[in-house]
């Protein structure tokens, strides 16, 4: 019998380290990941930084239309399936090769983001979990917690392209509440309004504790 993709992923997961950084848009994921990766690399760790969804998902017409204009005639199921397909390619082409090369993978969003986002778009958690069944939870997850209102304000100040959902504090707040409700036991929840330095230091200690190394002072 051919080996299933699920089995291949499960094998690569053993002994590897995948850290997901989650939180609503504007929470500070990119900012934290940059510092965290630099700090871990400086201490000799091989790190691979990546993100979900990938540019493949973002480039798809229904996704771009949804981001610009909202649902219209695009079913949430369609976007969730495209995002799951994107996730499977991302695992096969990027995450597994990095793990097999002995790297620590830090991902800007991971499978929990799909659950938090697509529940607010009306899909059931069991259906979302089923279509993402091939993707195990990460070994560690950092949730940057911020209110929808504060996130909208940060996104506005950051400037650049702003998606429709990013203008709605109540939508971002609903996604935030899903993240908080669904979080794994070992998830580190950080106040995203602390200073970037303090957030990065708490994240560094968490990652080192997961890699079972003594935490340097």
Ligand X SMILES: Cc1cn([C@H]2C[C@H](O)[C@@H](COP(=O)(O)O)O2)c(=O)[nH]c1=O
* Minimum separation from the CB atom of position 12 to ligand ATP (A): 26
Beta bridge partners of 49: 106
Q: How far is CA 83 from CA 111, 130, 132, in A?
A: 10, 13, 9
52 binds, among ligand ATP, ligand X, none (CB under 5 to 8 A by kind): ligand X
- DSSP assignment letter at 187: -
CA distance 40 to 43: 5
Could you tell me the smallest distance in angstroms from the CB atom of residue 193 to ligand X? Answer: 19
Q: Is 29 annotated as a binding residue?
A: yes
- Name the residues that contact ligand ATP, by CB under 6 A: 23, 25-31, 154, 158, 195-196, 199
Helix (H, G, I), strand (E, B) or coil at 45: coil
**Residue (158 or 205) nearer to ligand ATP, CB:** 158
Residue 24 annotated in ligand binding: yes
Q: 23 among the known binding-site residues?
A: yes
Do residues 19 and 207 make contact, with C-beta atoms less than 8 angstroms apart? Answer: yes
HSE, side-chain direction, 13 A CA sphere, residue 18? 28
- CB environment 118-146: b (16+ within 10 A), e (fewer): bbbbebeeeebeebbebbbebbbbbbbbb
Contact characters 155-194, ligand X, x per CB under 6 A:
--------x-x-----------------------------
Query: Coil, strand, or helix at residue 3?
Result: coil
159 is in an annotated binding site: no
Nearest residue to the partner ligand X, using Cβ? 83
Q: How far is the CB of 179 from ligand ATP (least distance, A)?
A: 12
- Name the DSSP class of 91: I
128 among the known binding-site residues?
no
- Least distance in angstroms from the C-beta of 59 to ligand ATP: 16
Extract the tokens encoding 214.
């003594």
Shortest reach from residue 177's CB to ligand ATP, in Å? 17
Length of the chain counted residue by residue: 217
Nearer Cβ to ligand X (114/190):
114
Which residues ranging from 61 to 120 are in contact with ligand X (CB under 6 A)? 79, 83, 109, 113-114, 117
Residue 103 assigned as binding residue: no
Identify which of 194, 185, 165 has the alpha carbon closest to the alpha carbon of residue 24.
165
For ligand ATP, the closer of residues 17 and 192 by Cβ is 192
Please give the residue ranges that form the binding site for ligand X (CB under 6 A).
25, 52-53, 79, 83, 109, 113-114, 117, 163, 165
């Amino acid at each position: 019998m051919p080996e299933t993709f699920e089995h291949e992923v499960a094998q690569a997961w053993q002994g590897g380290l995948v850290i997901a950084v989650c939180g609503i848009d504007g929470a500070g994921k990119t900012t934290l990941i940059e510092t965290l990766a630099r700090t871990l690399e400086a201490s000799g760790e091989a790190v691979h930084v990546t993100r979900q969804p990938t540019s493949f998902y973002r480039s798809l017409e229904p996704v771009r239309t949804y981001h610009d204009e909202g649902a219209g005639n695009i079913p949430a199921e369609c976007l969730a399936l495209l995002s799951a397909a994107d996730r499977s390619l991302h695992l096969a082409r990027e995450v597994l090769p990095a793990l097999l090369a002995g790297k620590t993978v830090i991902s800007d969003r991971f499978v929990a983001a799909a659950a938090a986002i697509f529940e607010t778009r009306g899909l059931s958690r069991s259906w979302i979990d089923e279509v993402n069944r091939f993707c195990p939870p990460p070994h560690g997850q950092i949730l940057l917690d911020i209110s929808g209102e504060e996130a909208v304000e940060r996104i506005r100040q950051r400037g650049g392209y702003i998606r429709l959902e990013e203008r709605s504090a109540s939508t971002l707040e609903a996604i935030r509440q899903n993240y908080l409700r669904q979080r794994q036991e070992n998830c580190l929840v950080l106040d995203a309004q602390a200073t970037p330095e303090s957030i990065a230091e708490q994240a560094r200690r968490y990652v080192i504790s997961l890699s079972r190394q003594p935490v340097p002072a």
